[in-house]
Chains A and B, each alone.
Chain A
Amino acid sequence: MLENILTIGNELGLIILALTVLAIGFLRKHSAAGYLGWSVAVAGLALLSAWLFISPAIDKAAFGGVYQTGPAPVFFKQLFIWAALLITMLSYPGKQSSNVLPYRHISEYLGLMLFSVSGMCLLVSAQELVMLYVSLELITIPVIMLVAFNRNDPRSHEAGMKYVFFSALSSGLLLYGFSWVYGLTGSTLLPEIRDIIDSSPIAVTALVLIMAGVGFKLAAVPFHLWAPDTYEGAPVTITAFLSVASKAAGFVLFYKVVEGFFVDTAVTYITLTGVLATLTMTIGNLVAMHQRNMKRFLAYSSIAQAGYVMIGLSQPELLGKTAVMYYLLVYLFSNLAAFGIVTLVALRSGREDMRDYAGFSITNPKLALVMMLSMFSLAGIPPLAGFMGKFILFAAAAQAGLYWLVFAGTVNAIIALYYYLIVVKWMYIMKPENGKPRIGPITTPAPHAIVLAVTTLAILLVGILPIFLEWAKSCAAGGF
C-alpha cells in the first residue's frame, strides 16, 4: 500500500498543492492572500517538476496495474507541470487591478488550475477505463469553471456555457463508445482490451464514437466549433492553458484509447487520422487568416497546429510518437511566448485587436521581438524550434509513405506563414493612425519577464540542441 502511494506521489503532491492554494484563498480575503497563494503555487510546481526530473523514469505499476508510470508518462507530466508553472507566472497578481485576470480570486483560480493539472497527470498514467474517465473529468470540470471565471464579463459566461455543453457531449460519446468496448471485451483494463478487441463492425462503430469524443477534446476539425468562442471569451491565461496543456492531454487520450484500440484496422486508422489532420490544418489555417482578435486568431492557429501534430499520429511507429512529443514540447514554448505578450498587452492596455498592435515595435521593441520570434517559430522558420518540430513530423509521415500528407502539411505551412506574418506586419511595418501607437510602453513585471525569457530561449535552443529531441525519442520508446 505504501509503495502504491509513493508511486503516485507526484499526483498526490499536485492535489495537496491544489488544496493548499485553495485553502489560502479561503483563509484570508484581499490582496496579501493572492500573493501568498501565487507564491505557494509557483514554488510547489517548481518543486514537483524538480522531483520528476531527479526521480528515475522507469516503468512502474500501482494499484493492480490501474496506474502505470514510465518514460513517456513522465515526459507528459513534465510538460503539463511546465505549462502550469509558466501560466501561473503569467497570472501574477500585479498591482493594477484589471478585468482581464481574476486577481481578486487568484488563489481559487490557481487551485482549480492545479486540480486540472493533477487530472492530466493521472490521465497519462491511467490504464483503466474508469480511471481514464474520472481523470478526464477532473481535467475538464475545473477548466469549465475557469473559462467562466470572469464574473463581470458576459463573454466569459457564454464561453463557459459553450465549453460545458461540448465537453459533456464529448464525454457522452466517449462513454457510449467505452460501454461497447466493455461489452465486446469484458474488461476495463487497457492492455487487456488491446489484446482482445477485434475489427468487427461493432468495434469499429465504438472506435468511431470514441474518436469523435477525443476529437472534441483536441478541437479537431469537424468537432472544433466550440474552440474559437471558448478561447475568445475565457480569461486570456486560461486560453493559453486550454490551447497548450489541455490539447496535449487530448493527444495522450488519443494514444490511449484510439491508437491503442485500432489494432487490426491499421489502414483505416491511418486514413482516418490523415484525413482528420488534413481537414484540421486546412480549415484552421484558412479561417485564421481572417481573424483580427488576437485571442481568436491564436485559437484558430492552435487548431491548425493540432492538425500538424495529428500528422504524427497517423504514423504509429516510434518516429511518429517522437515527432508528436517533440512538437508538443516545441509548441508549448512557442505558443506560451505569444500568449505571454497577448496577456501583458491585454492586462496593461486592455487591447486585444490585431490592429491595435500598429507601432508596437516602436513603443515596445523587446516585446515585439519576442512576439516575432514566437510567430516565426509557430510558422516553422529555420533555425527556430518550430521548424525542427515540423521537419520531424513531415519526416515521420514520409517514412510511412504518406506523401500526400506531407504535401498537405507543406501547403498548409505556407498558408500559415502568411497569416503569422500579418501579425509581424502590424507590429513592425504598419504606421499607427494619427502617428500615435494605441499601446503605450509596457512595464514588464519580473514573473512575466522570466516567462518571456525562458520561452524565447527555448524557441532559440530547442531546435538546435539535439538533447531535447533525444529526450523525446527515448521517452517515446517507452510507450503508454
Chain B
Amino acid sequence: MNSPGLEHYLIFAALLFCIGLYGIVTRRNLIGMLMSVEIILNAAALNFVAFHRFKFGGDVAGAMFPLFIIAIAAAEAAVALAIILALFRRKRNLDVLSDNLLKN
C-alpha cells in the first residue's frame, strides 16, 4: 500500500481551489458564496501544511501560516455574516442579484 504523498495533497488542494472559485462565480446565495471563499482559503492552508510536512520539515513557517489563515478567516466570516444578517433583515432573502440599489 502506498501512503498518500505530496502530489496527492497538492492535487486535492488544487481541486478545492477550483471548487471554491467555481462556487463563488456560480452561487447566487450569499452563504454559499461565503462557503466557497472559505474553501479557497482552506486550499491554501492545505498547500502550506503539505509543503511543510513533505518538503520543508525544519521550517516552522509552513505549519504556522495555516493557523493565521484559520484565525483571520474566522474574523472575516464574522464580519461577512454580520453584514449578511443586516441585509437579510431588510430584504428577507439572500439572493445576490435581487433588487440591487447600486446599479451594476
- The chain A residues found within 8 Å of chain B, CB to CB, are 128-130, 133-134, 137, 141, 144-145, 148, 151, 154-155, 157-162, 164-165, 168-169, 171-173, 175-176, 178-180, 182-183, 186-188, 228-229, 232-233
Contacts and interface: CB of A to CB of B under 8 A. Distances in A.
A176 B83 contact: no
Interface string B60-104: 011011001100100110011001101100100000000011101
B15 to A, nearest CB: 12
Given A137-B75, A169-B40, A179-B47, A155 B80 contact: no
Interface in B26-75: 30, 33-34, 37, 40-41, 43-45, 47-48, 51, 55-56, 59, 61-62, 64-65, 68-69, 72, 75
Contacts of A187: 59, 61
Contact of A168 (B51, B62, B80): B80
B38 to A, nearest CB: 8
Contacts of A176: 17, 40, 43-44, 47
B100 A164 contact: no
Interface in B2-22: 10, 13, 17, 20
Given A158-B102, A165-B24, A187-B59, 16 more contacts: A128-B61, A130-B64, A134-B68, A137-B75, A145-B79, A158-B101, A161-B80, A161-B83, A161-B87, A164-B79, A171-B76, A172-B41, A180-B47, A182-B48, A183-B10, A186-B59
Contacts of A179: 13, 44-45, 47-48, 51, 65
B55 A133 contact: no
A222 to B, nearest CB: 14
Contact of A233 (B37, B48, B102): B102
Contacts of A148: 83, 86
A139 B82 CA distance: 18
Interface of B: 10, 13, 17, 20, 24, 30, 33-34, 37, 40-41, 43-45, 47-48, 51, 55-56, 59, 61-62, 64-65, 68-69, 72, 75-76, 79-80, 83-84, 86-87, 90, 100-102, 104
12 contacts: A130-B61, A133-B65, A141-B76, A148-B83, A151-B86, A154-B101, A157-B86, A161-B30, A169-B40, A172-B37, A176-B43, A179-B13
Given A180-B47, A182-B51, A175 B101 contact: no
B71 to A, nearest CB: 9
Contact of B62 (A155, A159, A173, A182): A182
A35 B32 CA distance: 42
The 3 closest A-B pairs by CB, nearest first: A172-B40, A179-B47, A175-B44
Nearest to A165: B33
A168 B76 contact: yes
**B interface: dominant SS:** helix
A58 B101 CA distance: 49
B68 A169 contact: no
Contacts of B86: 148, 151, 157
Contacts of B55: 183, 186
B100 A158 contact: yes
A232 B65 CA distance: 35
A188 B61 contact: yes
Nearest to A161: B83
A178 B84 contact: no
Contact of B79 (A141, A159, A171): A141
A134 B72 contact: yes
B76 A164 contact: yes
A313 B62 CA distance: 30
Given A130-B64, A164-B80, A175-B41, A137 B87 contact: no
Given A164-B80, A188-B61, A169 B90 contact: no
B104 A229 contact: yes
Contacts of B104: 229
Nearest to A151: B86
